[in-house]
Amino acid sequence: MHDTGQPLIEARALAVGYGAQPVVHDLDLEVRPGEVVALLGANGAGKTTTLRALSGDLTPMDGEVRWLGEAARAPLHRRARQGLAYVGERTVFTRLHTEDNLRVGRVATEQALHLFPELEKRLKTGAGMLSGGEQQMLSLARALCRAPKLLLADELSLGLAPLVVDRLLRAVREAADRGLGALLVEQHVRKVLDIADRVYVLQRGRITMAGTPKDLRGNLDAIESSYLAAKATAEKTTYATD
């Protein structure tokens, strides 16, 4: 499904960062209902910072974020109530059983099992004891079963086996086919391009390529090698955390 309505979320000339220093500059981006959009870029390019600004967790330094057609100033929890779901790395309560994680997330067990039948035998298991893939299925079930309008997902498949990555991305694709808009930050470039409708490539805080996966296929090697080069640099870098 493509381009079926007005954008759910838009960034217009967005600058955002930490302290006085923007790390993302002059960024234009949008996600519409029914489309999966991939945001690709090397470590430190500004992908997480962009998602945090879109979700309302970071305040723009310049430009604006528009959510559901209006300039968005509401914080994350308000946008969440209006249908914005954010999934980061392993967003589960590790001390609670799988089933209790669903209950706390106000998600019906049946609905979650419809999405990920794999979780059935793990309902009474503490979420901390689940495999990485099962934890992400649980995170995604908690997000998708509440029928959000927009999913922002940061490295959904970080460190997971290829088959599990396929499984998670397929669930997102199917939800988008039913009308969800999704913006995915992914390290698995080729896999995400298989399910994405559009792609943005971010380099050093700026969008340097945008288009359909087909447009970008000719540049895949360049995109992937920029990831690898930056990974080597990142190993020598100590990141500040908040």
| Positions in the binding site for ligand ATP (CB under 6 A) | 18, 23, 41, 43-49, 239-242
Q: Which residues contact 3 (CB under 8 A, 6 or more apart)?
A: 32, 34, 35
In the complex with ligand ATP, the residue whose CB is nearer, 32 or 52, is: 52
DSSP category for residue 96: S
The dihedral built from the CA positions of residue 196, 75, 159 and 167, taken in this order, carries a sign that is negative
Compute the least distance from the CB of residue 28 to ligand ATP, in Å.
17
Residue closer to ligand ATP (CB basis): 218 or 239: 239
Residue number, 18 or 215, with CB nearest to ligand ATP: 18
Q: Is 84 helix (H, G, I), strand (E, B) or coil?
A: strand
**Beta strands at 181-185 and 150-154: parallel, antiparallel or unpaired:** parallel
User: What's the closest the beta carbon of residue 12 comes to ligand ATP, in angstroms?
Assistant: 19
- φ, ψ dihedrals at 53, nearest 5°: -70, -40
Q: Amino acid identity, residue 28?
A: D
For residue 80, give both structure tokens: 């969440």
In degrees rounded to 5, what are phi and psi of residue 17? -175, -150
Q: How far is the CB of 153 from ligand ATP (least distance, A)?
A: 12
Picking from 9, 19, 6, 43, the residue whose alpha carbon sits closest to that of residue 182 is: 9
* Complex with ligand ATP: residue 105 or 205, whichever CB lies closer: 205
Instruction: Extract the tokens encoding 237.
Output: 């870098």
Question: Shortest gap between Cβ of 112 and ligand ATP (angstroms)?
Answer: 28
Residue 3 CB, nearest approach to ligand ATP (Å): 26
Q: Which is nearer to ligand ATP, 44 or 132 (CB)?
A: 44
Nearer to ligand ATP, 146 or 204 (CB): 204
Using DSSP, state whether 137 is helix, strand or coil. helix
- CB burial class (10 A; 0-12, 13-18, 19+) of residue 196? buried
Q: Least distance (Å) from ligand ATP to the CB of residue 149? A: 23
**How do strand 84-87 and strand 9-18 relate by DSSP bridges?**
unpaired
